[in-house]
């Protein structure tokens, strides 16, 4: 997950994820989503894409864009997290998802990892304690 503070108030209808040096292959699930973050750091899913196994299959520098299930009205100054749920043979590298471990241990969180998920959808809620550092 990549955490951020919205800079402007605007509707969001699509999510775009840039591919790093490794493209996805052998995927059975690829879903993007966006969470709101409460004052304790707990996450609530606002909207997600449908499963699309062709996303993130492009080469380095390619971007994958997919429509969300509902429009998100981002509010300037509010913290959000964007998530990528992948199940498959080769996980893609995506920009902004992995930072050095010391950096992801600081607050406010910039990136995190939620492992051990199954199915084809993102979880609707995640407690702050279930998200770990995503550092390399």
Q: Mind spelling out the 3-state secondary structure of the chain?
A: CEEEECCCCEEEEEEEEEECCCCCEEEEEEEEEEEEECCCCCEEEEEECCCCCCCCCCCCCCEEEEEEEEEEEECCCCEEEEEEEEEEEECCCECCCCCCHHHHCCCCCCECECCCCCCCCCCCEECHHHCECCCC
Residue 124 included in any domain: no
Residue 130 included in any domain: no
Number of domains in the chain: 1
| Structure confidence at residue 8 as a pLDDT band (50, 70, 90) | very high
Residue 127 included in any domain: no
Q: Which of 2-6, 51-55, 104-108 has the lowest mean pLDDT?
A: 104-108
Domain of residue 103, residue span: 2-118
Residue 134 included in any domain: no
pTM score, whole prediction: 0.85
């Amino acid at each position: 997950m990549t955490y951020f503070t919205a800079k402007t108030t605007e509707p969001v209808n699509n999510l775009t994820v840039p591919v790093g040096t490794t493209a996805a292959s052998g995927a059975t699930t690829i879903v993007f989503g966006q969470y709101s973050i409460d004052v304790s750091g707990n996450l609530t899913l606002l909207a997600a894409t449908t499963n699309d196994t062709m996303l993130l299959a492009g080469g380095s520098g390619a971007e994958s864009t997919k429509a969300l299930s509902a429009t998100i009205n981002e509010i300037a100054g509010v913290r959000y997290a964007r998530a990528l749920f992948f199940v498959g043979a080769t996980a893609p590298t995506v920009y902004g998802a992995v930072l050095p471990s010391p950096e992801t241990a600081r607050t406010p969180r910039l990136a995190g990892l939620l492992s051990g998920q199954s199915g084809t959808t993102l979880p609707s809620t995640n407690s702050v304690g279930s998200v770990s550092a995503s550092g390399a």
